[in-house]
Chains A and B, each alone.
Chain A
């Protein structure tokens, strides 16, 4: 706010602008203090509980909400400020002027220009917002990366192929196209692929990981609502990419146990049979080039 030090006549057209800047800065400071508070308490997560913990979906929604809220706020403030000033200083409004004594003329070398302090105040504030927000999410990243304890989780191996998903349970039972898991129990997925690069994701459960040839990636999720969800491929993988999905059936724990007790490495379930059939069609279709690739 260099203009405060300048004679009134030069800032007269911009008098109310000074107030606006102050207002903008005030608004940003409000946001900032909220965030700072958030981060300070987040630094002591045990006491505050401000680092969201729970299912992947819960963690995601909490962070997403905060980002949406702050993002919208910052966006509205900055864009509003920009539009307001663009309107205010439009040519013909009489508010703005070209400083004939100080402006660059055609062909003049651009020597230094002012405004550094104002610039750095805004820059500093935006930096605090961004850094504190991302640091806060880093704490949840640590939580997510830690994953569930080994003894309580269900381990399932996921293998992508053109164009479907195979799931192998700890007892060796394999299904194709359907993943059954119990509610309220963490599920640990180990993901790879039989052919090209895929990405396994269940958007409603907020779980996702790359399926990379020759590599294994790990991720986890906990579903608290029984029901049927859809897993999809999130990396372009060929003709059947659009239809490369699987059902994720979240069962009440006792029903799941009953199903799992009957599932062995050998017996092919009904799930398996239908899915295999469709995937066979898929590979045939994929051979012939421009024909539809997958029968869902």
Chain B
């Protein structure tokens, strides 16, 4: 069942550049052109960018790990070793943050970007420009993190960022603030990406491809994206509060705050535990795919495997306090979280057994991908068994803060990396059209596996070493030396991989469509690499297996407002002539406010650069003030310039002729019949609910610790707040009027209603400004006390939402003035959803902060 005939090979080889380069009438430069990589929005290009960038951060995080391992060669007295104490803490912190955030997830999502649309039968993700935006935000967040090293030193409080060490009282370096802001930017990237993936995966599956039948890799990505959506929103809440403490002077996490340190642990671990599965699930998906391919067998107990993952994904939000067994939580809570923790470990037993049993009676081919994935399963078993130790609370008490934890989570997480490296070898032929060198691949695995165990296993033996310490008991030194040797072996093994893959990408044997006998998922049914729009025809699974419908077989859908659907679907992928595509797309272009078809856009890049400048400019703020003198002025200028670039590129993006991939609606449970844009907006708002939930939770937690009744609302007078409640409610009403007018094609009705909304929003802000001005005059400031901090920051976050809404409202009003939205009122509708949400949030904030 392979298409590995020589003839085919030759065709693929010859067609390589064409297939992935200029085709189809899009303004796409070829892959050899630098420009291509800055303007691309294609999911396969973005996937490649993710993989390459994440490997760069792997190297960066790895070098930091080497520095630590060298420092740990012997117990170091003061002044010994290559790192100063603070530098060591920075290395520890940056290593953790880079590996967890900038390497692991983006590496996995590189594959997700490349493979998932192919497995779904989609031409691209639902929002290709947002996909490019995710990538550029990710890259610039990484660059921002890099900059933090040069601003007096980066963050040095550990990747868990425990408070109050994380506030400027204890870590005053500007670089520490920059690192936190880099994380904020990274979370923005993740949120955009989650919304995009969830919309795509729920809405854009080929006919017959129900969720149940989704390939396991896509299943893991679907669940990962759901977990990311909510977990990263909680992290965003935590990071925004921390940024505010660092930059604006609020006192949530200050030493004097009634429960600031504990609040951080709750917020962080509510994110932190799902994060473990967020980084591990894609690895699990790779394991499942590769096991099936290289044993030639179906996975045992497929539906139970999926069910187990769903259970884990849900339950992952109910185990966070097992990271806090030694804090002041009581026995009942400990018991509860011990039970949920045991509960979440059990589904993994089932998954491991399912993978093992899949091998039985199969024909196992020990290719490089299988070796890595097989090794990953071995490592995961060891990681899992040592994890059960931590589930026993009495043992956890002693393991807390020691190398047992370090060894355990490296076995699990780097075990996951092992599987993902297997995935890199597995999909390399698909992504490049070339085969890697099998011997070098196997050599890489051998060196990697030895290095891995040499590095991490001794850490179990030396478990009594406290974490993040380089002065340890001398009798443990041999184990640490062994680990250091292993660290270098592991790190250097990647040189073999880089050499192999780099050389093979240009000079490897041409890869056929399906180089792996018995591979079953759809990405292997198209050429290597696939054409720009993935399929020669419309993929369907209506007869239980993948088929491609020709042009004639597709019934063009009747012209919905979303227009392009029918016409562009009928363009038969790469085989259709460029002119046909251009004209068909042109004829439907107006509906999505575009002038011509193009999947190229520079604005995601520019927008991300703008956001980078804004955050870089803000980094030296303390107590909401820039430093004195030239440096401060330079930073302030950077902020303003960044703001202009950001806003300008947003507008440019809005006006740019661009339309997303068009598709014949296939399987779309549970969002059938709802527009992609609307689904995306709902999903985004769901994450925003968690964001505000985090803020409100932080407020309630702090207030309870302070004493609920002794806490008086900050505004002595609730009247301005009440007036604002009415203003916002009215503005919700005017948005509804705008939508009604648009549907009735009443241009001036749209303009007037949107204008009224804008004016009401301004009224809200002016009223709020006056109220705050009054409070400032009474001597209340963000840093006055924790009551003031929670009031100003939470209502300030809401005000920021209002301002963002008003920017959009202004844009919509201007467009409506020129006659937009009469044919297609969806933009007004989506804005309405957002605006109503902002109003509803206020309905919670008003009683919480003014009345109770």
Contact = CB atoms under 8 A, between A and B. Distances in A.
A231 B230 CA distance: 39
B215 to A, nearest CB: 7
A295 B262 contact: no
Interface stretch (B241-249, B363-371, B412-420): B363-371
B257 interface: yes
Interface string B691-724: 0000000000000010000000000000000000
A71 B338 contact: no
A107 B401 contact: no
A19 B395 CA distance: 37
B804 interface: no
B268 to A, nearest CB: 12
A241 interface: yes
A254 B514 CA distance: 80
A78 interface: yes
A137 B393 contact: yes
B364 A91 contact: yes
A71, A96, A102: most-surrounded residue (chain B CB, <10 A): A96
A139 B31 CA distance: 63
Interface in B482-533: 514, 518-522, 524-525
A82 B377 contact: yes
Nearest to A205: B398
A127 B349 contact: yes
Contacts of A90: 364-366
Contact of A208 (B153, B304, B326): B326
A134 B385 contact: no
A201 B471 CA distance: 15
Given A106-B524, A123-B353, A292-B78, A243 B386 contact: no
B78 A243 contact: yes
Contact of B84 (A89, A97, A292): A292
Given A60-B395, A64-B395, A130-B349, A113 B469 contact: no
Interface in B514-567: 514, 518-522, 524-525, 541, 544-547
B467, B520, B541: most-surrounded residue (chain A CB, <10 A): B520
A71 B77 contact: no
B364 A96 contact: yes
Interface residues of A, number: 96
B327 A212 contact: yes
A144 interface: yes
A138 B338 CA distance: 9
A116 B303 CA distance: 10
Nearest to B350: A123
Nearest to B393: A141
B346 A126 contact: yes
B326 A210 contact: yes
B63 interface: no
Interface stretch (A35-43, A166-174, A213-221): A213-221
Give the contact-size bracket for chain B. Answer: 35 or more
Contacts of B335: 138
B299 A106 contact: no
B86 A293 contact: yes
B300 A78 contact: no
A127 B547 CA distance: 42
B518 A103 contact: yes
Nearest to A81: B356
Contact of A119 (B350, B522, B547): B350
B797 interface: no
Interface string B344-370: 011001101110111111111110000
B229 interface: no
B259, B302, B377, B386: most-surrounded residue (chain A CB, <10 A): B302
A222 interface: no
Given A67-B392, A89-B360, A134-B391, A289 B86 contact: yes
A116 B298 CA distance: 12
Contacts of B303: 112
Contact of B392 (A13, A112, A137): A137
A295 B158 CA distance: 23
B353 A126 contact: yes
B561 to A, nearest CB: 33
Nearest to A291: B84
Contacts of A237: 165
A55 interface: no
Contact of A199 (B298, B395, B401): B401
A9 to B, nearest CB: 13
B265 to A, nearest CB: 8
A137 B346 contact: no
Given A79-B378, A114-B300, A115-B301, A96 B363 contact: yes
Given A119-B304, A196-B165, A212 B393 contact: no
Interface in A169-193: none
B292, B334, B397: most-surrounded residue (chain A CB, <10 A): B397
A126 B156 CA distance: 41
Nearest to B370: A86
Contact of A13 (B361, B464, B545, B705): B361
A239 B86 contact: yes
B374 interface: yes
Interface string B71-101: 0000011110000111111001000000000
A14 interface: yes
Contacts of B545: 105, 107-109
A145 B325 CA distance: 12
A279 interface: no
Contact of A110 (B215, B259, B334): B215
Contacts of A31: none
A201 to B, nearest CB: 7
A131 interface: yes
Contacts of B386: 71
Contact of A103 (B296, B304, B466): B296
A104 B288 CA distance: 14
B165 A118 contact: no
Contacts of A197: 162-165, 261
A95 B304 CA distance: 28
Contacts of B342: 130-131, 134
A226 interface: no
A236 B468 contact: yes
B165 A238 contact: yes
A203 interface: yes
A140 to B, nearest CB: 5
B28 to A, nearest CB: 28
A141 to B, nearest CB: 5
A30 B171 CA distance: 55
Nearest to A116: B301
Contact of B398 (A60, A86, A213): A60
A200 to B, nearest CB: 10
Nearest to B362: A96
Contacts of A119: 300-301, 304, 350, 353-354, 357
B326 A98 contact: no
A107 B87 CA distance: 52
B302 A112 contact: yes
A291 B79 CA distance: 9
Nearest to B329: A217
18 contacts: A60-B394, A71-B386, A71-B389, A86-B374, A89-B363, A109-B208, A110-B302, A119-B350, A137-B393, A141-B393, A141-B394, A196-B170, A201-B466, A239-B89, A241-B468, A242-B85, A242-B470, A296-B77
Given A209-B326, A292-B85, 9 more contacts: A67-B389, A85-B356, A110-B299, A123-B349, A214-B705, A217-B328, A233-B466, A290-B84, A296-B77
Interface of B: 1, 76-79, 84-89, 92, 152-153, 156-158, 160, 162-165, 170-171, 173, 208-209, 213, 215, 255-262, 292, 295-304, 326-328, 331, 334-335, 338, 342, 345-346, 349-350, 352-354, 356-366, 374, 377-378, 381-382, 385-386, 388-389, 391-395, 397-398, 400-402, 464, 466-471, 514, 518-522, 524-525, 541, 544-547, 705
| Complex A-B, nearest 7 residue pairs according to Cβ-Cβ distance, in ascending order | A234-B401, A107-B546, A115-B300, A98-B296, A113-B298, A137-B392, A126-B349
